[in-house]
């Protein structure tokens, strides 16, 4: 019986990896084809910027809808449907021939992405509960790996002259196949074991505890920091340090590589030292790294700063998702949707916040806002301690 449960849990973990890689791959393929899609639709960069808000808005709505739905129906049901929706939607921008069609396509793609994001993270929490040790960060690293695969494949198909519709159509079919083939390995819904009388202090399932909103606020701040690196790291090296374009591109590469490697290692660090230590020290290291990048007069030192920033930030957000999912087993999906939703808004807010600040100060000095957010996260890391599950009252996640 134990061997069967162990095999079931291992299969569920592999399936979760598949969905995280798929999500990163689908969104990466869209990103790679943005210039071609923009040309086909005949729109300017400014119009595209406004349309991308529809992508973010659709994702946020999807997250809020699918969170409670996952709690009600189970991740085993919701994750494959969300993956199929996101896979089918990725072809739509490639077919859009005008601004209205592209706007509708991005709204649907964002909705599918939001649904998949929350449901697969809810299932990741279920897998983590079954293993009784941290595994969340590795799943987030798999998302990054999916993005790398998309960049490599997208570059190849573009060099072959494939149209966005043809490439994204093939990607959609691949995504639908992965969604269907991985579905059977997902874990069944958990059922909490009643160990005594109900705690009257326990909030109603319809009430979001204050701790969840604190985790969501931290996710907003830390994912805003990640968004700043995505959108402004290259510009900082080019405009502030006068680096050549090829050299400036290394800033984001250093950050992204450090993020991926850090997430592959963060679970072991969390298992040994605890999630509080990962968030506290990781955010502190991130603050130091970004400060070095912002103040450095030399390009090599700035690249080191962006690398340290990525390494420190890498394990922080997965700890927040994990804590939200473990805080209340019956409302794991809804809680994850709150944290993921505000975190996603933070990612979108990065360029929106930093851009206007550059009218009042140099670009590198605006980075002290995300530095302050990292310091706040380090100082409030203790919120994770109260969010750890009580393994004595929860059955293994693999119980059918």
With a pLDDT cut of 90, the percent of the chain lying above it is 55
Same structural domain, 162 and 244: no
- 257 lies in which domain range? 210-392
Within a domain: residue 191?
no
Same structural domain, 127 and 215: no
pLDDT band at 216 (very low <50, low <70, confident <90, very high): very high
**pLDDT at site 351:** 67
Going by C-alpha positions, the residue among 214, 210, 136 that lies closest to residue 376 is 214
Residue 2 has pLDDT above 70, yes or no: no
Question: Residue 151's domain is classified under what CATH number?
Answer: 1.20.1250.20
Within a domain: residue 122?
yes
Same structural domain, 181 and 245: no
Q: State the sign of the Cα–Cα–Cα–Cα dihedral 360, 364, 365, 369.
A: positive
Same structural domain, 149 and 249: no
Give the other-Cβ count within 10 Å of 306's Cβ: 28
**pLDDT at site 287:** 97
Counting beta carbons within 10 angstroms of the beta carbon of residue 230, is it exposed (0 to 12), middle (13 to 18) or buried (19 or more)?
middle
pLDDT tens per residue, range 78-115? 999 999 999 999 999 999 999 999 999 999 999 999 99
Residue 60 has pLDDT above 50, yes or no: yes
The structural domain count of the chain equals 2
Torsion of CA 339, 131, 386, 143, to 10 degrees: -20
How much is the average pLDDT of 125-129? Answer: 91
Token couple for 110: 């964002």
pLDDT band at 394 (very low <50, low <70, confident <90, very high): very low
Q: What is the mean pLDDT of the chain?
A: 86
Residue 397 has pLDDT above 60, yes or no: no
pLDDT tens per residue, range 262-288? 999 999 999 999 999 999 999 999 999
Cβ-Cβ contacts under 8 Å for 361 (sequence gap 6 or more): none
Q: How far is CA 85 from the centre of its chain?
A: 18
**pLDDT at site 39:** 87
Same structural domain, 218 and 343: yes
Start-to-end CA span in the chain (Å): 12
How much is the average pLDDT of 107-133? Answer: 93
**pLDDT at site 387:** 47
């Amino acid at each position: 019986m134990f061997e069967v449960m162990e095999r079931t849990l291992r299969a569920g973990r592999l399936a979760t990896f598949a969905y995280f890689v798929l999500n990163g791959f689908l969104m990466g393929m869209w990103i790679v084809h943005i210039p071609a899609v923009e040309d086909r639709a005949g729109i300017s960069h400014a119009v595209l910027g406004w349309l991308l808000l529809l992508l973010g808005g659709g994702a946020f709505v999807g997250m809020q809808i699918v969170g409670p739905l996952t709690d009600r129906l189970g991740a085993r049901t919701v994750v494959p449907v969300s993956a199929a929706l996101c896979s089918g939607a990725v072809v739509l921008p490639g077919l859009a021939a005008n601004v209205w069609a592209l706007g509708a396509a991005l709204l649907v793609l964002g909705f599918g992405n939001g649904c998949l994001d929350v449901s697969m993270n809810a299932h990741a929490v279920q897998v983590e509960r079954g293993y009784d040790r941290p595994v969340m960060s590795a799943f987030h690293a798999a998302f990054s790996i999916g993005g790398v695969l998309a960049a490599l494949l997208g570059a190849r198909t573009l060099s072959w002259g494939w149209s966005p519709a043809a490439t994204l159509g093939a990607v959609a079919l691949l995504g639908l196949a992965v969604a269907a083939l991985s579905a059977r390995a997902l874990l069944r819904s958990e059922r909490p074991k009643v160990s005594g009388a109900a705690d009257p202090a326990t909030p109603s399932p319809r009430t979001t505890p204050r701790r969840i909103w604190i985790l969501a606020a931290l996710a907003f701040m830390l994912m805003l920091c990640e968004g700043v690196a995505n959108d402004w790291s290259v510009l900082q090296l080019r405009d502030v340090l006068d680096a050549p374009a090829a050299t400036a591109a290394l800033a984001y590469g250093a950050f992204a590589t450090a993020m991926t490697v850090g997430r592959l290692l963060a679970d072991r660090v969390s298992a040994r030292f605890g999630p509080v230590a990962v968030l506290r020290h990781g955010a502190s290291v991130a603050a130091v790294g970004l400060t070095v990048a912002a103040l450095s007069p030399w390009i090599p030192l700035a690249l080191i700063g962006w690398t340290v920033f990525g390494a420190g930030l890498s394990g922080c957000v997965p700890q927040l998702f994990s804590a939200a999912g473990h805080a209340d087993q019956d409302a794991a999906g809804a809680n994850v949707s709150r944290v993921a939703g505000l975190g996603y808004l933070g990612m979108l807010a990065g360029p929106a916040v930093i851009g206007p600040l550059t009218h009042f100060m140099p670009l590198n000095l605006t980075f002290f806002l995300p530095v302050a957010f990292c310091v706040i996260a380090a100082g409030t890391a203790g919120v994770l301690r109260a969010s750890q599950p009580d393994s004595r009252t929860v059955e293994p996640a693999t119980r059918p």
